[in-house]
Amino acid sequence: MIRSDKLVRSLWCWLLLLPLVVVVIFPLAVMFFTALKPASEIYVYPARWLPQQWQWSNFSAMWTQTGFGRALLNSLLVSLCATVLTIAVSVPSAYALARLKFRGQGGYRQFLLITQMISPVLLVVGLFKMAASLPWFDGGNMTDSRLSVVIAYGAFGIAFAVWMMTSYFETIPRDLEESAWLEGSGPVRTVFKVFLPLALPAMAVTALVTFVNAWNEFAVVYTLIRSTEKQTLTVLVTNMVAGQYVVQWELVMAAAICAVVPVAILFAWMQRYMVQGLTAGSVK
């Protein structure tokens, strides 16, 4: 009896969600089927969903023709370094906000909120100018250097990371730290032996979000990086489309799939922790 109740409810739920499911799946299906069409089936009218000839070799062709591997490495390098930078400076801040009381605490929170509002796109003209005026080892300047992108991403990730981790840190009970102090453990030791292990899941989720944001960022890297050997995946795929006389859509879609799938898996896995994190952050 209860079972059939749930069955009916499930049907309703899926029926109501159907329009959204279609709109979400649609571009993914376009991506998938286009990536597997031979070039001769791309510009065909009327367009067909399924390829007549499934061309899996598009993936290897894309890999060799577009410099995908290099862009993938650049994306990994830039996103990883930016994440490390963000987490390294944000953890102490979040700890201070969650555990210490000090003058200017509210002011610092407001400062973070305001920086969160300033998107990098707004500063892009200034960021470019800044990179151009900072000298760099090779005698040139910091435009077209991956380091400038790393610094920009690292800095722009701080507000979110601190906010996210502070709200998590505040949910970690103080009892364990307090008993460690009573047993004579020094404050530094307590932080490393008791607090940080408990805070690890929060740090991991925040790091993942920061990483994905850096991986997906477009405007800053599009502006700062000019040479093809330093471009990231978002720029690589965009350049395959923009300013081309004839776009090889089958290769574009193959590249897009390869860029999206790892992040999508990461996200599907991480998503339930996100709900928890946002809840913890917003209840207060």
Within 58-97, the residues that bind other proteins by CB under 8 A are 85, 88-90, 92-93, 95-97
Segment 175 to 194, residues that bind other proteins, using CB under 8 A:
177-178, 181, 187
Segment 212 to 241, residues that bind other proteins, using CB under 8 A:
212, 215-216, 218-219, 223, 234, 237-238, 241
24 binding other proteins? (CB under 8 A): yes
Place of tokens 């006389």: 245
Give alpha helix (H) positions in the chain.
2-35, 57-66, 68-99, 105-117, 120-133, 146-156, 158-169, 175-182, 187-190, 196-216, 219-224, 233-241, 249-283
CA–CA dist 200, 49 (Å, integer): 46
User: Contact region for other proteins (CB under 8 A) — 54-62, 64-72, 129-137, 197-205?
Assistant: 129-137
Q: From the list 159, 164, 202, 208, which residue makes contact with other proteins (rule: CB under 8 A)?
A: 159
CA–CA dist 208, 212 (Å, integer): 6
Closer residue to other proteins (CB): 60 or 178 = 178
Least separation in angstroms between CB 15 and other proteins: 10
User: Which of the 8 DSSP states describes residue 242?
Assistant: T
User: Contact region for other proteins (CB under 8 A) — 52-60, 62-70, 198-206, 259-267?
Assistant: 259-267
Q: From the list 40, 65, 105, 228, which residue makes contact with other proteins (rule: CB under 8 A)?
A: 105
133: its two tokens: 């005026």
Least separation in angstroms between CB 56 and other proteins: 20
Segment 25 to 44, residues that bind other proteins, using CB under 8 A:
25-31, 34, 42-44
Q: From the list 155, 172, 176, 198, which residue makes contact with other proteins (rule: CB under 8 A)?
A: 155
CA angle 152/235/23 to nearest 5° reads: 105
CA angle 94/95/100 to nearest 5° reads: 115
CA–CA dist 270, 278 (Å, integer): 13
User: Which of the 8 DSSP states describes residue 172?
Assistant: S
Q: Sort 128 into a burial class: Cβ within 10 Å, 0-12 / 13-18 / 19+.
A: middle
Q: How many residues touch other proteins (CB under 8 A)?
A: 111
Least separation in angstroms between CB 31 and other proteins: 5
Least separation in angstroms between CB 137 and other proteins: 19
CA–CA dist 165, 158 (Å, integer): 10
Least separation in angstroms between CB 209 and other proteins: 10
Q: From the list 62, 82, 127, 251, which residue makes contact with other proteins (rule: CB under 8 A)?
A: 127
158 binding other proteins? (CB under 8 A): yes
